[in-house]
Amino acid sequence: MKYKIVTLVIIGCFVFADSPDKIVQNNIQLETEDNNTISPVKERGPAQTLSRDTDFVYWKVDSSKNGYGAFLETNNPLAYSYDANGDGENAGWIAVYRQWGTLEETAGFLGVAQSDPWGEQWFVESRINTTYPENQTYTVTSPGLPTANGAPQARYPSGVVSSYHNKATAVWNEYTTPAYGGGSYGGVPMYSYDFFGVGENSNFSGIQHINEGCVNLNTSQGEVCDPPDLWNGNAQMVDGSDGSVRLLAAYTSWAAAENYSKYMIRSINVTNGYVSVDAPEFWQQDSLDQDDTGNCLWYDCTGYTGQPDFHVNSDGIGYMAVTSYGADSDTEHPFSHTLFFKKTEDYGETWSSDGGYKNSGYHYISDEVLNQLSDSLLTLWSLDPDTYYNHPWYPWAQCTDEDGSTYTCGDTINFSDDSSNFYYTPGLFLGYSYDIMTDHDGGLHFITSTGNYICKDENGGCNDNDGDGDADSIYFEIRFPGAGMYHYYNPDPVDDPDNWSVNFIHSFYDSWGADWPTTGDLVMGSDAWFYFYPNIRPSYEDGSQVLWYGASNMSSASYNADSTLYEPRDIDLFMAKSVDNGRT
C-alpha cells in the first residue's frame, strides 16, 4: 500500500539546537484528492472515542480559579485511602486544588475535598492557607502574608494520605516574596493535615513548612529559605510494610544560581498526620549528573533530559527515572533517547550510585533491547494487518480482500520533496511525557510518549551497513500510526537488564499531528507532543496485579473547509485496565 504525502502545513514537534544529527524531521505534506479525502499513511478518519457509554459518573466537587494543577504531570492532586485500620469504613478520596474565592480575590486559595468510601459525596474545606507558619495572616481588609499582594498564593498542589493514619494532607508551594522564600520567585513548600479521618468532618492543622531550611528564619537579617525558591513538588506518602509512614517530596529550585536543581525532602517520621521533616538533600541536576570520571552524563550536559519522576512501593523499593541521550550518543551506545533510572531499596534514603551507564548509578534500556522490542511489535502487526489495521506495518505485510485473496499492503511513506520510499524500521524514541510506578514485587513500570523511526530506502539506507544496530538512514516520526503511549516493564531491571517487555497502549499520532489552534478553548501553550502525559498506578491490594492507565487525548477532529488543516474539536479522558501486571 503506497501513500502520497504533499506539504501544506509543516508540523514541527521540537528543535534541537546545534545538533542536526540527533533528530531529523521531514516536512509532511497532505494531498487533497478528487473525493476530498486526505491520504497520509493510513487514511486519516475522524478521531475515535470508544466506550463512551460505560458506567462512569461524575460530580462537581467545587469551583477552582486558575486550577490547572490537574493538567500538569509533576504534582498529584488526587489520593486515596483504603483506611487500613478501620476495615475501609472511612476510606475515600481526597482532592487538593486552587480554590475559587471571589472574582476580586486571589487565585491562590487552597481547597481540600474529601469523599465518602464510594466517592459519591464530597465534603469541602475552604481556604486552608490564610495563615502562614510564622502567624502572618490574610483577611480581605488586612492582607498580611509575605506575598506580592499579601494574599495566599498556593501553587502546584498535591494530595497525599496514609491509609494507616487516614488523615488527608495537602502539599503545595506558596508563591511568596524573594525576601521570604529566596531566589527570584520565593517558592516555599508547605503542608497541612486534617485532624479528622477522611470524610465529612474536617479541621485542618496550621500550615507547616516542609523545607526544614525555612524554619526559624531571621528575615529581618536577610535570612531566606535554604535551599531557596522551591517549586512544583512531586509528593508521595508511602505506607511501609514495616508499619511506618513516610513522606517523600521532590522539588525544583527556581533560583537562578541553582540552575533548576532538584531536592528530595523526606520525613523523619509521620505521626497521626504530623510530618517531621529532615533537611532537603540535593537529588538531581542535569549538568551535575556525572560519570565516574567527573564528566557530564547527558548530551550537551542538559537540554535533552526529561524531568525526574519517582515512585516507591511499600517495601521501600523504588525508582527515579528520566529520559535522555547519553553524553557520547553520537559515537557510542546507547544512541537512542532512552530510559535512564536509579534504584532505591530504603524508601529513598539512598539511590544507586554506581554501575549502569558509565558507572553513574543510572541503569538504562539498551539500543539492542529497544530495537528488539520495536521489531517484535512491527512483526506482530505486520503478520496480521487485518486485526491491527491502524498500526504500522513492514512493507512485506499481506492483507486479505473481500474475496479472500491476499495482496501486499505494507506501508510505504513518501514525501513531496523527496522521491525516495520510506519504511518503518526498528527503533523507539522515548519521549518527555511519562509516569513511573514500582509494583508490589519491585518491578519497574514506565509509560511514556513514544515515537517511531522510518528509514530512507536509497543507497542501502534501510540496511545497517555500518553495524551500529540501526538503519543507516533513520528519521524520527510521531505523525504516523504507531506513535503513542507505550508501557515498558521489567521485573528486575538492575540485575536482569535485558528482560524488558513492551505494550502499545494508546495511539496519539492523530493528536500529535493535528493543527492545534492558537486561540480559543483548545490552546495548549506547548506542542501536543509535550502537552499530553500518561498516568499509571497499581491497585492498593497486596498481591494484586491490577494496573490502571489514564490520559487525556484528542477525541474529535475534522478538516477545515479547504482541507488544509486537521483541527481538533474536543479532548476527553481515556482509561485502560490491566489485570496481569501490564502484560495485556
User: Residue 546: inside a domain, yes or no?
Assistant: yes
In a domain, 355, yes or no: no
Q: Check whether residue 94 and residue 188 sit in a common domain.
A: yes
Query: Residue 534 domain-assigned?
Result: yes
**Dist. CA 50–CA 553, nearest whole Å:** 12
413 and 556 co-located in one domain: yes
Distances (CA, A) of 137 to 110, 222, 237: 14, 21, 28
Look at residue 289 and tell me if it is in a domain.
Answer: yes
**How many domains are contained in the chain?**
2
**C-alpha to C-alpha distance for 505 and 116, rounded to whole angstroms:** 32
Among 281, 303, 325, identify where a domain stops.
Answer: 303
Residue ending a domain, choose from 286, 303, 320 = 303
Q: For residue 262, is pLDDT > 70?
A: yes
Tens digits of residue pLDDT in 147-160: 999 999 999 999 99
Instruction: Tell whether 409 and 277 lie within a shared domain.
Output: no
- Nearest 10 degrees: CA dihedral of 392, 395, 398, 403? 90
Ramachandran assignment for 119, one of left (phi > 0), alpha (psi -120 to 50 degrees), beta (any other):
left
Q: What is the dihedral of CA 409, 413, 414, 419, to 10 degrees?
A: -80
Q: Are strands 484-490 and 109-115 parallel, antiparallel or unpaired?
A: unpaired
Band of pLDDT at residue 187, cut at 50, 70 and 90 = very high
CA distances from 443 to 356, 414, 434, 545 (A): 17, 41, 17, 11
119 and 20 housed in the same domain: no
Residue 49 lies in a domain: no
Kindly tell me if the per-residue pLDDT of 578 is higher than 60.
Answer: yes
Query: What number is the average pLDDT over the span 500-529?
Result: 94
Q: Is the peptide bond prior to 77 cis by the omega test (within 30 degrees of 0)?
A: no
Please tell me whether residues 31 and 153 are part of one structural domain: no
What is the structure's pLDDT at 13?
Answer: 32
Give how far Cα 103 sits from Cα of 63, 66, 106, Å: 12, 12, 8
Task: Say how far apart CA 362 and CA 284 lie, in whole Å.
Answer: 12
54 confidence band (pLDDT: 50, 70, 90): low
Same domain, 456 and 385: yes
Within this chain, do residues 265 and 374 fall inside the same structural domain, yes or no? no
Model pTM score: 0.90
Of 275, 303, 331, which closes a domain?
A: 303
Q: Say if residue 38's pLDDT is above 70.
A: no
Tell whether 316 is covered by a domain.
Answer: no
**385-423 confidence digits (pLDDT tens):** 999 999 999 999 999 999 999 999 999 999 989 999 999
User: Do 284 and 388 belong to one domain?
Assistant: no
Residue 11 lies in a domain: yes
Q: Which amino acid is at 487?
A: H
Percent of the chain beyond pLDDT 70?
91
Same structural domain for residues 267 and 139? yes
Residue 266 lies in a domain: yes
Does residue 117 share a domain with residue 28? Answer: no
Do 32 and 97 sit in the same domain of this protein?
A: no
The range of the structural domain enclosing residue 184 comes to 88-303
Average pLDDT of span 353-373 = 98
Whether residues 378 and 447 share a domain: the answer is yes
Look at residue 52 in the predicted model and tell me its pLDDT.
55
pLDDT of residue 28 exceeding 90, the answer is no
DSSP string, 457-501: -STTTTS-TT-SSS-SSEEEESSSTT-EEEEEEESSTTTSTT--E
Instruction: Assess whether pLDDT exceeds 70 at residue 59.
Output: yes
Strands (DSSP E) contained in 31-129 are 78-81, 92-99, 109-115, 122-125
Whether pLDDT at 43 is above 80: no
Residue with cell 503542608: 191
